[in-house]
Amino acid sequence: MTQQTPDQYRVFGNPIEHSRSPDIHHIFAEKSQQSIDYQKQLVDIEDFSNAVSGFIHQGGKGANVTVPFKEQALIIADELTERASLAGAVNTLSFREGKIFGDNTDGEGLVQDLIANNVILKQSRILLLGAGGAARGVLLPLLAQTPHSIVVANRTVSKAEILCQHFADKRLSACGFQDLEQQQFDVIINATSASLSGSLPPIPISLISQNVVCYDMVYGKDLTPFLRWAKENGAIKVIDGLGMLVGQAAVSFEVWRGIAPEVRSVIDSLRASLK
Protein backbone atom coordinates (compact mmCIF):
# COMPACT_ATOMS: atom_id res chain seq x y z
CA MET A 1 0.00 0.00 0.00
CA THR A 2 1.33 3.46 -0.84
CA GLN A 3 1.51 6.00 1.92
CA GLN A 4 -0.30 9.28 1.28
CA THR A 5 1.88 12.39 1.01
CA PRO A 6 1.19 14.70 3.94
CA ASP A 7 -0.61 17.98 3.19
CA GLN A 8 1.88 20.86 3.03
CA TYR A 9 1.72 24.01 5.19
CA ARG A 10 4.18 26.85 5.79
CA VAL A 11 4.78 29.86 7.95
CA PHE A 12 6.22 32.81 6.04
CA GLY A 13 8.10 35.54 7.88
CA ASN A 14 11.29 37.56 8.19
CA PRO A 15 12.85 36.79 10.63
CA ILE A 16 11.46 33.28 11.05
CA GLU A 17 14.11 31.13 12.74
CA HIS A 18 12.53 31.41 16.21
CA SER A 19 9.02 30.55 15.07
CA ARG A 20 7.40 27.79 17.16
CA SER A 21 4.59 27.30 14.64
CA PRO A 22 6.02 24.12 13.01
CA ASP A 23 6.37 22.44 16.43
CA ILE A 24 2.90 23.51 17.49
CA HIS A 25 1.19 22.34 14.29
CA HIS A 26 3.05 19.02 14.23
CA ILE A 27 1.86 18.33 17.80
CA PHE A 28 -1.72 19.27 16.84
CA ALA A 29 -1.51 16.97 13.82
CA GLU A 30 -0.10 14.07 15.80
CA LYS A 31 -2.75 14.37 18.50
CA SER A 32 -5.60 14.64 16.02
CA GLN A 33 -4.17 12.01 13.64
CA GLN A 34 -3.87 14.39 10.72
CA SER A 35 -1.17 13.94 8.11
CA ILE A 36 0.52 17.28 7.59
CA ASP A 37 3.98 18.65 6.96
CA TYR A 38 4.55 22.21 8.22
CA GLN A 39 7.77 24.14 7.56
CA LYS A 40 9.01 27.64 8.19
CA GLN A 41 10.18 29.72 5.26
CA LEU A 42 12.30 32.85 5.41
CA VAL A 43 11.05 35.25 2.76
CA ASP A 44 12.85 38.31 1.40
CA ILE A 45 10.98 41.53 2.09
CA GLU A 46 10.31 42.08 -1.62
CA ASP A 47 9.39 38.51 -2.38
CA PHE A 48 6.29 37.60 -0.36
CA SER A 49 3.85 37.29 -3.23
CA ASN A 50 6.27 35.11 -5.26
CA ALA A 51 6.94 32.90 -2.26
CA VAL A 52 3.20 32.28 -1.80
CA SER A 53 2.67 31.60 -5.54
CA GLY A 54 5.58 29.19 -5.58
CA PHE A 55 4.17 27.31 -2.60
CA ILE A 56 0.70 27.11 -4.15
CA HIS A 57 2.34 25.77 -7.31
CA GLN A 58 3.96 23.01 -5.26
CA GLY A 59 0.54 21.99 -3.95
CA GLY A 60 0.59 23.83 -0.60
CA LYS A 61 -2.74 23.76 1.25
CA GLY A 62 -2.30 26.72 3.57
CA ALA A 63 0.12 29.04 5.33
CA ASN A 64 0.54 31.19 8.37
CA VAL A 65 1.93 34.65 7.85
CA THR A 66 3.90 36.59 10.40
CA VAL A 67 5.86 39.84 10.66
CA PRO A 68 6.28 41.77 8.37
CA PHE A 69 3.93 40.23 5.80
CA LYS A 70 0.47 40.28 7.42
CA GLU A 71 -0.69 43.36 5.49
CA GLN A 72 0.69 42.03 2.21
CA ALA A 73 -1.15 38.77 2.84
CA LEU A 74 -4.37 40.78 3.09
CA ILE A 75 -3.70 42.30 -0.32
CA ILE A 76 -3.02 39.03 -2.15
CA ALA A 77 -6.10 37.26 -0.74
CA ASP A 78 -9.03 36.78 -3.13
CA GLU A 79 -11.49 36.48 -0.26
CA LEU A 80 -11.30 37.66 3.34
CA THR A 81 -13.17 36.84 6.52
CA GLU A 82 -14.72 39.82 8.27
CA ARG A 83 -12.27 39.50 11.16
CA ALA A 84 -9.31 39.66 8.77
CA SER A 85 -10.76 42.56 6.85
CA LEU A 86 -11.39 44.61 10.01
CA ALA A 87 -8.03 43.60 11.47
CA GLY A 88 -6.38 44.93 8.31
CA ALA A 89 -4.07 41.92 8.44
CA VAL A 90 -4.04 38.21 7.57
CA ASN A 91 -2.20 35.54 9.53
CA THR A 92 -3.82 32.49 7.93
CA LEU A 93 -4.04 31.69 4.23
CA SER A 94 -5.92 28.75 2.73
CA PHE A 95 -5.45 27.63 -0.86
CA ARG A 96 -8.54 25.98 -2.34
CA GLU A 97 -10.58 26.04 -5.53
CA GLY A 98 -7.83 28.05 -7.25
CA LYS A 99 -8.27 30.89 -4.78
CA ILE A 100 -6.45 32.41 -1.82
CA PHE A 101 -8.61 32.79 1.31
CA GLY A 102 -7.36 35.14 4.04
CA ASP A 103 -8.27 34.93 7.71
CA ASN A 104 -6.97 36.35 10.97
CA THR A 105 -7.03 34.04 13.99
CA ASP A 106 -5.12 36.26 16.46
CA GLY A 107 -8.20 37.71 18.15
CA GLU A 108 -9.92 34.36 18.47
CA GLY A 109 -6.70 32.94 19.93
CA LEU A 110 -6.71 35.69 22.55
CA VAL A 111 -10.40 35.20 23.38
CA GLN A 112 -10.00 31.43 23.73
CA ASP A 113 -7.00 31.90 26.00
CA LEU A 114 -8.88 34.37 28.21
CA ILE A 115 -11.79 31.94 28.47
CA ALA A 116 -9.41 29.05 29.24
CA ASN A 117 -8.07 31.20 32.08
CA ASN A 118 -11.60 31.55 33.48
CA VAL A 119 -12.04 35.17 32.45
CA ILE A 120 -15.78 35.70 31.93
CA LEU A 121 -15.71 38.22 29.11
CA LYS A 122 -19.48 38.67 29.01
CA GLN A 123 -19.30 40.30 32.44
CA SER A 124 -16.05 42.19 31.96
CA ARG A 125 -15.27 45.82 31.33
CA ILE A 126 -12.21 45.66 29.08
CA LEU A 127 -9.32 48.10 28.71
CA LEU A 128 -7.16 47.56 25.63
CA LEU A 129 -3.77 49.27 25.74
CA GLY A 130 -2.29 50.17 22.35
CA ALA A 131 -3.68 51.12 18.96
CA GLY A 132 -1.25 49.47 16.55
CA GLY A 133 -1.61 46.29 14.51
CA ALA A 134 -1.77 44.00 17.54
CA ALA A 135 -4.70 45.93 19.06
CA ARG A 136 -6.55 46.22 15.77
CA GLY A 137 -6.11 42.49 15.15
CA VAL A 138 -8.05 41.44 18.24
CA LEU A 139 -10.86 44.00 18.51
CA LEU A 140 -13.60 42.25 16.53
CA PRO A 141 -13.39 38.92 18.40
CA LEU A 142 -13.26 40.84 21.70
CA LEU A 143 -16.33 42.89 20.76
CA ALA A 144 -18.13 39.68 19.85
CA GLN A 145 -17.66 38.49 23.42
CA THR A 146 -18.77 41.46 25.45
CA PRO A 147 -21.97 43.46 25.85
CA HIS A 148 -19.95 46.10 27.73
CA SER A 149 -17.88 48.93 26.40
CA ILE A 150 -14.22 48.47 25.49
CA VAL A 151 -11.89 51.38 26.10
CA VAL A 152 -8.87 51.67 23.80
CA ALA A 153 -6.10 53.71 25.44
CA ASN A 154 -2.97 54.72 23.61
CA ARG A 155 0.11 56.91 24.14
CA THR A 156 -0.81 58.73 20.92
CA VAL A 157 -4.53 59.39 21.51
CA SER A 158 -5.29 60.22 17.88
CA LYS A 159 -4.31 56.69 16.84
CA ALA A 160 -6.78 55.22 19.33
CA GLU A 161 -9.47 57.55 18.01
CA ILE A 162 -8.83 56.52 14.41
CA LEU A 163 -8.93 52.86 15.40
CA CYS A 164 -12.29 53.26 17.15
CA GLN A 165 -13.72 55.18 14.19
CA HIS A 166 -12.60 52.38 11.90
CA PHE A 167 -14.67 49.83 13.86
CA ALA A 168 -17.66 52.20 14.14
CA ASP A 169 -19.07 50.40 17.18
CA LYS A 170 -20.82 52.38 19.92
CA ARG A 171 -19.26 50.18 22.60
CA LEU A 172 -15.76 51.43 21.67
CA SER A 173 -14.17 54.59 23.02
CA ALA A 174 -10.68 56.04 22.83
CA CYS A 175 -8.56 57.88 25.38
CA GLY A 176 -5.02 58.62 26.52
CA PHE A 177 -3.30 56.90 29.45
CA GLN A 178 -3.73 59.98 31.67
CA ASP A 179 -7.52 59.79 31.20
CA LEU A 180 -7.65 56.42 32.93
CA GLU A 181 -7.14 57.80 36.44
CA GLN A 182 -10.79 57.65 37.53
CA GLN A 183 -11.78 54.49 35.67
CA GLN A 184 -12.07 50.84 36.70
CA PHE A 185 -11.86 47.72 34.55
CA ASP A 186 -12.07 43.96 35.05
CA VAL A 187 -9.58 43.02 32.33
CA ILE A 188 -6.61 45.02 31.06
CA ILE A 189 -4.99 43.73 27.87
CA ASN A 190 -1.58 45.07 26.89
CA ALA A 191 -1.41 45.18 23.09
CA THR A 192 1.38 47.77 23.02
CA SER A 193 4.85 46.70 21.97
CA ALA A 194 6.30 48.24 25.15
CA SER A 195 7.16 44.81 26.63
CA LEU A 196 9.37 44.07 23.64
CA SER A 197 11.59 46.99 24.59
CA GLY A 198 11.54 46.15 28.30
CA SER A 199 9.21 48.99 29.26
CA LEU A 200 5.64 49.25 30.41
CA PRO A 201 2.89 51.60 29.26
CA PRO A 202 2.60 54.50 31.73
CA ILE A 203 -0.89 53.77 33.06
CA PRO A 204 -2.11 54.86 36.51
CA ILE A 205 -1.58 52.49 39.41
CA SER A 206 -5.19 53.12 40.47
CA LEU A 207 -6.24 50.71 37.69
CA ILE A 208 -4.75 47.77 39.52
CA SER A 209 -6.86 46.12 42.22
CA GLN A 210 -7.69 42.67 43.55
CA ASN A 211 -10.46 42.46 40.96
CA VAL A 212 -8.43 43.03 37.84
CA VAL A 213 -6.97 40.44 35.47
CA CYS A 214 -3.98 41.67 33.43
CA TYR A 215 -3.00 40.11 30.10
CA ASP A 216 0.08 40.81 27.98
CA MET A 217 0.19 39.63 24.36
CA VAL A 218 3.96 39.27 24.74
CA TYR A 219 5.40 36.20 26.50
CA GLY A 220 8.78 35.01 27.67
CA LYS A 221 10.50 32.96 30.34
CA ASP A 222 9.99 35.78 32.83
CA LEU A 223 6.98 37.98 33.39
CA THR A 224 6.83 41.03 31.10
CA PRO A 225 7.40 44.44 32.76
CA PHE A 226 3.64 45.13 32.61
CA LEU A 227 2.68 41.82 34.23
CA ARG A 228 5.39 42.13 36.89
CA TRP A 229 4.16 45.63 37.75
CA ALA A 230 0.51 44.48 37.83
CA LYS A 231 1.33 41.51 40.04
CA GLU A 232 3.41 43.57 42.45
CA ASN A 233 0.54 46.01 42.76
CA GLY A 234 -2.07 43.36 43.55
CA ALA A 235 -3.75 42.22 40.32
CA ILE A 236 -5.68 39.02 41.01
CA LYS A 237 -4.27 37.26 37.96
CA VAL A 238 -1.61 37.96 35.33
CA ILE A 239 -1.46 36.03 32.05
CA ASP A 240 1.12 36.25 29.27
CA GLY A 241 0.61 35.72 25.55
CA LEU A 242 1.90 32.15 25.22
CA GLY A 243 -1.66 30.81 25.30
CA MET A 244 -2.65 33.30 22.62
CA LEU A 245 0.20 32.08 20.43
CA VAL A 246 -0.99 28.48 20.75
CA GLY A 247 -4.63 29.58 20.52
CA GLN A 248 -4.22 31.42 17.22
CA ALA A 249 -2.38 28.39 15.84
CA ALA A 250 -5.22 26.13 17.00
CA VAL A 251 -7.80 28.29 15.22
CA SER A 252 -5.67 28.22 12.03
CA PHE A 253 -5.45 24.44 12.32
CA GLU A 254 -9.24 24.29 12.65
CA VAL A 255 -9.68 26.57 9.62
CA TRP A 256 -7.52 24.21 7.55
CA ARG A 257 -8.42 20.80 8.95
CA GLY A 258 -11.88 21.25 10.46
CA ILE A 259 -10.70 19.95 13.82
CA ALA A 260 -10.17 22.02 16.96
CA PRO A 261 -6.99 20.65 18.59
CA GLU A 262 -6.42 20.41 22.32
CA VAL A 263 -4.18 23.29 23.43
CA ARG A 264 -3.52 22.95 27.17
CA SER A 265 -0.77 20.32 26.94
CA VAL A 266 0.88 22.23 24.07
CA ILE A 267 0.98 25.44 26.11
CA ASP A 268 2.45 23.51 29.05
CA SER A 269 5.18 21.89 26.99
CA LEU A 270 6.11 25.17 25.28
CA ARG A 271 6.21 26.86 28.68
CA ALA A 272 8.61 24.21 29.95
CA SER A 273 10.90 24.78 26.96
CA LEU A 274 11.12 28.58 27.27
CA LYS A 275 14.65 29.81 27.77
Site residues for ligand ATR, window 137-166 (CB under 6 A)? 154-156, 159
Smallest separation, CB 235 to ligand ATR (Å): 18
Asked if 139 and 150 count as a contact pair (C-beta separation under 8 A), the reply is yes
- The conformational region for residue 33 under phi > 0 = left, psi -120 to 50 = alpha, else beta, is left
For the bound state, the minimum distance from the C-beta of residue 194 to ligand ATR, rounded and expressed in Å, comes to 4
- Closer CB to ligand ATR, residue 16 or residue 36? 16
Residue number with the smallest Cβ distance to ligand ATR = 132
Is residue 250 within 8 Å of residue 28, measured between CB atoms? yes
Amino acid code (one letter) for 150: I
Binding region for ligand ATR (CB under 6 A) out of 114-122, 133-141, 144-152, 178-186: 133-141
Mark whether 70 is an active-site residue: yes
Shorter beta-carbon distance to ligand ATR: residue 191 or 250 = 191
199 binding ligand ATR? (CB under 6 A): yes
Q: Is 107 annotated as a binding residue?
A: no
DSSP three-state, residue 164: helix
Which strands form 126-129's sheet, in the order they lie side by side? 172-175, 150-153, 126-129, 187-190, 213-216, 237-239
Backbone angles phi, psi at 100, to 5 degrees: -110, 120
Q: Please state, in angstroms and rounded to a whole number, the distance separating the CA atoms of residues 191 and 120.
A: 19
214 contacts ligand ATR (rule: CB under 6 A): no
Count of residues engaged in binding ligand ATR, rule: CB under 6 A: 15
Active-site positions? 70
**Residues within the interface to ligand ATR (CB under 6 A):** 130-135, 154-156, 159, 192-194, 199, 201
Binding-site members for NADP(+) are 82, 130-134, 154-159, 217, 241
